[in-house]
Amino acid sequence: AERSAAAEQADAARAAAEAAVAGQERAVAAVEEQRTAAIAQLAAARGTTVALERQRQEALAAEQEQAEQDQAEHDPTEPPAPTSEPSLGPPDDPTVPVEPSAPPQPTTEPSAPPQPSTPPQPTAEPTTPPEPPQPTVEPSPEPTDEPEEPEQPDPPASGAQAAVDYAFAQLGKPYEWGADGPDSFDCSGLTMRAWEAGGVDLPHWSVAQAQRVDRVSYSDLRPGDLIFWSDNGQASGVYHVGLYIGGGQMIHAPRPGKDVEVQDVFYWVDPSFYGRV
């Protein structure tokens, strides 16, 4: 009789453990589904693709992991022993799901991922760009917090001038995601080909281009420098790039449905940083 009762208790414990594991797996699957939906919304808001946004998220996660490793190397002190058993539920951040390592029932439901913010869109169609080499149309409207325009920058090097000349020659060609010419471009495809004409090989990815440049201030900008927009102010969060042509203006391939154009550097949201190739 005692053996029979022990067997029943063992069967009940096994069933409870299996139910806990199944519940944990469902929670992890729900987190991954929410993450995929959030990435799809972010891609739609930016006019990119789910694959590119997922790649950006993975780059952000890799950068954060590297930063944590670096901090751990500089701070070798032993962590305090936990006073209670840690919860094995899904992580607070649903964008980085993990596999359950033990069968306990998750203590909390996974939180929903934050909704991506939609970048503001230009309020007016761009004005017709003037002929190269120097646009004469004054940018309008002027933002109230715009930094002072660079005063008499040094003349561009021959490679930078070749990059600017190439970009001018592409004005009016349509935006197409993943394209790098000759008939259509996306933002990093245009800057890659422009600097290829200037004798420098850049990767066809705005994040990688941001990692290759030396940062400069707005007041130090020269024609041929690159202008970046980033979610987090760092290279890992870059989602758009343009080519500075002087006079507070740039040439860029903006988004689907638009053509390569000359625009004021501050016509949209303020750039995150600037770089010299």
- Give me the residue spans of the domains in the chain: 1-112, 158-276
Which pLDDT does position 161 carry in this prediction? Answer: 96
pLDDT tens digit at each of 277 positions of the chain = 667 777 788 888 888 888 888 888 888 787 788 877 777 777 676 667 777 777 777 777 777 777 778 777 776 554 444 444 434 333 333 333 334 344 444 444 444 444 444 444 443 334 444 454 454 444 444 544 555 555 544 445 689 999 999 999 999 999 999 999 999 999 999 999 999 999 999 999 999 999 999 999 999 999 999 999 999 999 999 999 999 999 999 999 999 999 999 999 999 899 999 999 9
Q: CA-based Rg of the chain, rounded to a whole angstrom?
A: 26
17 CB-contact burial (10 Å; exposed 0-12 / middle 13-18 / buried 19+)? middle
Selection from 236, 150, 242 nearest residue 195 by Cα? 242
Tokens 């899904």 map to which residue?
90
Q: What is the DSSP letter of 110?
A: P
CB neighbours of 150 closer than 8 A, spacing ≥ 6? 218, 219, 220, 221, 222, 248
Q: Which of 163, 192, 252, 265 is catalytic?
A: 252
Contact 53, 239 (CB under 8 A): no
Catalytic annotation present for 240: yes
Which pLDDT does position 76 carry in this prediction? Answer: 53
Cα dihedral 93/98/103/108 (nearest 10): 10
The pLDDT tens digits for 135-150 are 444 444 454 455 555 5
Catalytic annotation present for 252: yes
Question: What CATH class is the domain 158-276?
Answer: alpha beta
- Longest Cα–Cα distance in the chain: 97
Which pLDDT does position 86 carry in this prediction? Answer: 39
Q: Which of 187, 213, 243, 251 is catalytic?
A: 187
Which pLDDT does position 130 carry in this prediction? Answer: 45
Helix (H) or strand (E) holding 239, with range, is strand 238-246
Q: Which of 24, 168, 240, 272 is catalytic?
A: 240
The pLDDT tens digits for 152-168 are 444 456 899 999 999 99
Catalytic annotation present for 187: yes
Which pLDDT does position 64 carry in this prediction? Answer: 74
